[in-house]
Amino acid sequence: MKTVAESAISVRIRFCTRQLIHRSIATCITTGFDDMAVRQLFILGTRGIPARHGGFETFAERLALYLTQRGWEVTVYCQSDAAEGAINEDISEDTWQGVRRIIVPVTRAGAVGTMEFDWKSIRDVAARDPGLVLTLGYNTAVFCTYLRWRGITNIINMDGLEWRREKWKLHERLWLWLNERVGCWAGNHLIADHPAIAAHLATRVKRRKITTIPYGADPIESMSAVPLRAFDLEDVRYGLVIARPEPENSVLEIVTAFSRRPRGARLVVLGKYDATHPYQRAVLDAASDEVMFPGAIYDQHVVRALRYHANFYLHGHRVGGTNPSLVEALGAGCAVIAHDNVFNRWVAGPDARFFATEADCDMHISALIGDPATASAMGLASAQRFRSAFRWDSVLAQYEALLDRHARPDRQHVAVVPRVSPVTAAAAVAVAAQPAAALDARVRAERSKADRAVALNAEHASTQVE
């Protein structure tokens, strides 16, 4: 049973709460809600959402949906191939799962079309005077100088060291190198997806201008083996390679190492291979009968099943930061054999195995095929490494915190609600004040009782001490 003092405290709490509610209602009625800003973000640099092309598109989709659910107003620029001859086709807009999409048509293909898309997007977003822009990649960072000149806050994800990739010609590498330099200056803040990328950028700008946030992925904790039937892999041990067939991804070295000797296992190499392409032809020629090339697989359910059931994952990327394919392999709990470089060592963690030569790769493949227990232990370590750094919820929360710090309040969208007339507002305030005044009188009466009870208790306690 409550004491008089407890009752008085309870009444006082109810009074304070109600008083606060009444005052808040009166304030909102009197002033309206037109001071409530909605955080805005415009995302540039990808081909658009929903994701169909690569890591940046997947990230843009996940971030846009995440922020939209948390009250942001998100706009993503999307590239569209214009009909032939439709040079003046207009930019259009639509909405996808609560995210505004701005569709930008281009009239050219390949890299030139990408540059056309980026420039049109930059001009369009500048005309909208946005609160905040996030640019994914620096390949056309020279265009971002326009946003800098207009005073628009632009955060740039600097991706990997694109200009180091062997596939680019000299003039293309020079273009990328120059744009990396320009991006470091043009961006108000830079995002690196790997500590080594952050260290590299710190040679261009001050460290405080850089934030390191890795790429994310979804964990794969169970998958049916049914999709493996199409490849006759249900009861077969196999290793997996998912990479573009390019020299800097070490696909030739991996296939050659696996094919050195009979394995009693398979190597599954995903991707499109053209026998007329010199490098891809060399990969096909180096493969033993135990290497299979099922082609490019776009069904993510099948790809996830192949990852989850693989005995080990081979990752040969030599250039770049946090590679999405490697992160996804960790999320599937794969034992990892990766090329030995600073990028892969940080992502895969100390329990992975690393190779610098074909002989190293051959040795690690033989070890994991011959010792399933070790491969299983490495897979558990991969899953733990994934949980520690690459979960989407953690990655996206870090992005929101960074974006929130850089969002400019003076350029945020304002949600306007019509004001109520002064007469109506005054009447509402009067109605709201009456119950509060009556309650205050009851509180004073209860407080008086409580004070008397406290005094009596104190007197009684003094008597007992004496």
64 pLDDT more than 70: yes
Same domain, 275 and 368: yes
Residue type present at position 153: T
Give residue-wise pLDDT tens across range 349-404: 999 999 999 999 999 999 999 999 999 999 999 999 999 999 999 999 999 999 99
CB atoms closer than 10 angstroms to residue 50 = 16
Of 432 and 74, the structure prediction assigns the larger pLDDT to 74
Same domain, 187 and 254: no
At 177 the pLDDT is 87
As for how many domains the chain has, the answer is: 3
Same domain, 307 and 448: no
Q: What is the domain extent for residue 435?
A: 4-34+417-465
Same domain, 292 and 304: yes
Domain for residue 318, yes or no?
A: yes
Same domain, 109 and 210: yes
> Which domain CATH number covers 147?
3.40.50.2000
Domain for residue 426, yes or no?
A: yes
Tell me the pairing of strands 266-270 and 238-242. Answer: parallel
Domain for residue 263, yes or no?
A: yes
Indicate the pLDDT class of residue 150, thresholds 50, 70 and 90.
very high
315 vs 311: CA distance, rounded Å: 13
102 vs 120: CA distance, rounded Å: 11
At 411 the pLDDT is 59
Give residue-wise pLDDT tens across range 204-215: 999 999 999 999
Same domain, 231 and 166: no
Same domain, 384 and 421: no
Domain for residue 378, yes or no?
A: yes
Same domain, 174 and 319: no
Burial class (CB in 10 A: 0-12, 13-18, 19+), 7: middle
Indicate the pLDDT class of residue 88, thresholds 50, 70 and 90.
low
Give residue-wise pLDDT tens across range 281-318: 999 999 999 999 999 998 989 999 999 999 999 999 99
Same domain, 267 and 371: yes
Whether the predicted model's global pTM rises above the 0.75 cut: yes
Indicate the pLDDT class of residue 257, thresholds 50, 70 and 90.
very high
Domain for residue 267, yes or no?
A: yes
At 56 the pLDDT is 85
- The highest-confidence range among 167-181, 250-264, 446-460, by mean pLDDT, is 250-264
437 pLDDT more than 50: no
332 vs 325: CA distance, rounded Å: 11
Burial class (CB in 10 A: 0-12, 13-18, 19+), 392: middle
CB atoms closer than 10 angstroms to residue 371 = 12
Same domain, 126 and 248: no
Domain for residue 130, yes or no?
A: yes
Domain for residue 221, yes or no?
A: no
At 412 the pLDDT is 59
At 159 the pLDDT is 83
Same domain, 378 and 235: yes
* Averaged pLDDT, 16-34: 44
210 vs 464: CA distance, rounded Å: 69
Same domain, 131 and 170: yes
User: What is the CB-side half-sphere exposure of residue 379 using CA atoms within 13 A?
Assistant: 21
